[in-house]
């Protein structure tokens, strides 16, 4: 209502040296729901490294409340959950909830990122100790490109249709459901989407996300009054366990947001115009094409037709579909292109390697090496296969393993044969 927007001021970052220690990260007006009367009041919020304080007036020196951030979690609530837009739910490690509203999506997202970064830098295993709460983060985790890729990978894990399996639970005293996933489910998800080829490799990727503070390990007792406690066991918080017994919660949960896992500055290089024109005219309006049962899906490397560079793309093969569709990212709704399956020739290629510049984010992480913005590295062309359409268009694709390549080749041959036989 009108009262909600009264007194709004966009949150502003504060430069180093302007405020007393600890440094203020962000400040501005937001609307907060009261805990006693449950009314909504505009408050001046100040975000510091380990806390979010709120004041009745901007000029006040004593806060009306202080929200500790160590072991906290943050959720972007959908409109249907609380009938108000641009809502954030901040939950402390003691499971106390704070509902906060921003004036618009841009302001909400700025606060979300700022709060998330603060939480990620705090180590919940040090709760109740005299040690510094600061988490030891590697240089790689602070690299903006790495940070963006990991953030988007976590967002893809939250996808309602293609993400890791999430289990809802409502903690004692909570008004909204929270969600957890098991270590085994996270490992399986990373492999199923070709971010890792082995479970040990997937454990390394998930452990990196855990160490960088993107989710917490929790002790969870499910029942009429579920209890969720952030674990302070340092060992359990250092390595993701490939087990159904270990449970984890996201530091920030925002399943409704869109994300493209892999970014490209040359969309036109990624596909063939003839095939794109064909798919645009015939298949995007066909419900069977884009909604049929998925036979196989996963990320493959695709060689561009113009610059011949390699990009990671999500490929989806559906039952009764005339095309093998590929997407820019795991959350893309509209295919970037399609490869006609009828009379398709599928050939395995000999393995080789070549040196080629690539940009981090074009492919899933395969090692713990610190990436740079742009560097030359040996890009493996192993496990490649060739698709030749009925009109002679060639597509060179690369799988993560020989087993994955063989599975794709077999599935595509069956799909092409079925279409060819059916058309006769």
Greatest mean pLDDT among 313-322, 348-357, 371-380? 313-322
Q: Tokens representing 224?
A: 């009429």
Find out whether 216 and 73 touch, Cβ atoms under 8 Å. yes
Pairing between β-strand 252-253 and β-strand 73-77 as defined by DSSP bridges: parallel
Whether pLDDT at 346 is above 90: yes
Look over the chain and give the mean of its residue pLDDT values, rounded to a whole number: 76
pLDDT value at position 238? 80
Percent of residues, the chain, with pLDDT higher than 90: 34
Beta bridge partners of 338: 325
Whether pLDDT at 408 is above 80: yes
pLDDT value at position 406? 93
Whether pLDDT at 222 is above 70: no
d(CA 420, CA 67): 63
d(CA 328, CA 334): 9
pLDDT value at position 258? 47
* Residues 6 or more apart in contact with residue 302 via CB below 8 angstroms: 270, 310, 311, 312, 313, 326, 395, 396, 397, 398
How do residues 143-170 score in pLDDT, each as one tens digit?
A: 555 567 788 788 888 877 678 999 988 7
Reported confidence tier of residue 101, pLDDT bands at 50, 70, 90: very high
The predicted model gives 188-211 an average pLDDT of 88
Whether pLDDT at 380 is above 60: no
Q: Tokens representing 147?
A: 């940070």
d(CA 101, CA 108): 8
d(CA 44, CA 63): 9
Enclosing H/E stretch for 32: strand 24-33
Q: Is the peptide bond before 362 cis (omega within 30 degrees of 0)?
A: no
Reported confidence tier of residue 62, pLDDT bands at 50, 70, 90: very high
Whether pLDDT at 417 is above 80: yes
Find out whether 197 and 400 touch, Cβ atoms under 8 Å. yes
Q: Which single residue is written with the structure tokens 């302070």?
A: 232
The predicted model gives 195-200 an average pLDDT of 87
State how far the alpha carbon of 345 is from the alpha carbons of 150, 341, 406, in Å.
Answer: 37, 9, 14
- Which has the higher per-residue pLDDT, 105 or 193? 105
pLDDT value at position 93? 85
- Which has the higher per-residue pLDDT, 227 or 308? 308
Residue 309 φ then ψ, to 5°: -90, 170
Find out whether 268 and 366 touch, Cβ atoms under 8 Å. no
Find out whether 383 and 401 touch, Cβ atoms under 8 Å. yes
Q: Is the peptide bond before 127 cis (omega within 30 degrees of 0)?
A: no
- Least confident interval from 22-31, 220-229, 290-299, 337-346: 220-229
pLDDT value at position 24? 93
The predicted model gives 201-207 an average pLDDT of 93
pLDDT value at position 336? 86
Whether pLDDT at 4 is above 90: no
Q: Is 230 helix (H, G, I), strand (E, B) or coil?
A: strand
Q: Is 143 helix (H, G, I), strand (E, B) or coil?
A: coil
Residue 19 φ then ψ, to 5°: -125, 165
Find out whether 52 and 46 touch, Cβ atoms under 8 Å. yes
pLDDT value at position 144? 58
Find out whether 248 and 215 touch, Cβ atoms under 8 Å. yes
- Where b means 16+ CB within 10 Å and e means fewer, 251-268 reads bbbbbeeebbbbebeeee
pLDDT value at position 390? 84
How do residues 274-321 score in pLDDT, each as one tens digit?
A: 344 344 334 343 444 567 788 999 888 888 877 777 888 889 999 888
pLDDT value at position 228? 57
* Span between the terminal Cα atoms of the chain, in Å: 63
pLDDT value at position 229? 64
d(CA 189, CA 165): 8
Residue 100 φ then ψ, to 5°: -130, 135
Whether pLDDT at 75 is above 70: yes
pLDDT value at position 423? 56
State how far the alpha carbon of 223 is from the alpha carbons of 95, 178, 227, 383, 418, in Å.
Answer: 16, 14, 8, 48, 50
How do residues 233-290 score in pLDDT, each as one tens digit?
A: 666 668 899 999 999 999 998 876 544 443 333 344 444 443 443 443 343 434 445 6
Pairing between β-strand 24-33 and β-strand 12-13 as defined by DSSP bridges: antiparallel
Q: Tokens representing 34?
A: 């009261």
pLDDT value at position 145? 56
Q: Which single residue is written with the structure tokens 């040090």?
A: 126
d(CA 424, CA 422): 6
pLDDT value at position 308? 72
d(CA 52, CA 68): 7
Among left, alpha and beta (phi > 0; psi -120 to 50; other), residue 149 is alpha
Whether pLDDT at 140 is above 70: no
Whether pLDDT at 207 is above 50: yes
pLDDT value at position 53? 97
- Least confident interval from 180-184, 215-219, 367-371: 367-371
d(CA 416, CA 219): 49
Whether pLDDT at 20 is above 70: no
- Which has the higher per-residue pLDDT, 389 or 66? 66
d(CA 306, CA 317): 25
pLDDT value at position 418? 87
């Amino acid at each position: 209502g009108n009262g909600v927007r009264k007194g709004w001021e966009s949150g502003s970052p504060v430069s180093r040296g302007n405020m007393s220690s600890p440094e203020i990260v962000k400040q501005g007006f937001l609307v907060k729901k009261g805990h006693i009367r449950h009314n909504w009041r505009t408050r001046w919020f100040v975000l510091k490294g380990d806390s979010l304080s709120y004041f009745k007036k901007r000029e006040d020196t004593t806060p009306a409340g202080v929200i500790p951030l160590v072991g906290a979690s943050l959720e972007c609530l959908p409109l249907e959950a609380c009938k108000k837009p641009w809502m954030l739910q901040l939950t402390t490690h003691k499971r106390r909830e704070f509902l906060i509203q921003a004036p618009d999506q841009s302001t909400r997202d700025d606060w979300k990122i700022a709060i998330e970064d603060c939480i990620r830098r705090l180590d919940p295993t040090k709760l109740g100790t005299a040690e510094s709460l600061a988490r030891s983060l590697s240089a790689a985790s602070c690299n903006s490109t790495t940070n963006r890729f990991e953030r988007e990978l976590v967002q893809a894990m939250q996808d309602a249709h293609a993400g890791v399996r999430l289990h809802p639970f409502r903690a004692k005293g909570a008004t909204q459901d929270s969600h957890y996933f098991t270590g085994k489910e996270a490992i399986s998800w990373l492999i199923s989407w070709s971010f890792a080829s082995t479970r040990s490799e997937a454990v390394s990727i998930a452990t990196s996300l855990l160490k960088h503070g993107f989710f917490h390990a929790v002790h969870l007792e499910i029942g009429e009054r579920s209890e969720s406690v952030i674990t302070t066991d340092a060992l359990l918080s250092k390595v993701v366990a490939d087990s159904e017994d270990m449970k984890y919660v996201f530091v920030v949960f925002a399943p409704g947001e869109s994300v493209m896992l892999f970014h490209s500055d040359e969309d036109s290089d990624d596909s063939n115009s003839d095939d794109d024109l064909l798919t645009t005219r015939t298949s995007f309006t066909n419900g069977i094409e884009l909604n049929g049962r998925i036979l196989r899906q996963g990320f493959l490397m695709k060689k561009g037709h113009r610059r011949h560079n390699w990009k990671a793309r999500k490929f989806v093969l559906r039952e009764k579909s005339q095309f093998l569709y590929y997407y820019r990212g795991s959350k893309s709704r509209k295919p970037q292109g399609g490869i006609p399956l009828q009379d398709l020739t599928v050939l395995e290629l000999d393995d080789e390697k070549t040196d080629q510049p690539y940009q981090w984010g074009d492919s899933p992480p395969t090692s713990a090496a610190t990436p740079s913005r742009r560097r030359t590295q040996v890009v493996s062309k192993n496990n490649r296969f060739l698709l030749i359409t009925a009109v002679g268009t060639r597509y060179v694709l690369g799988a993560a393993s020989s087993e994955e390549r063989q599975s794709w080749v077999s599935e595509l041959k069956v799909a092409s044969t079925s279409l060819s036989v059916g058309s006769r």
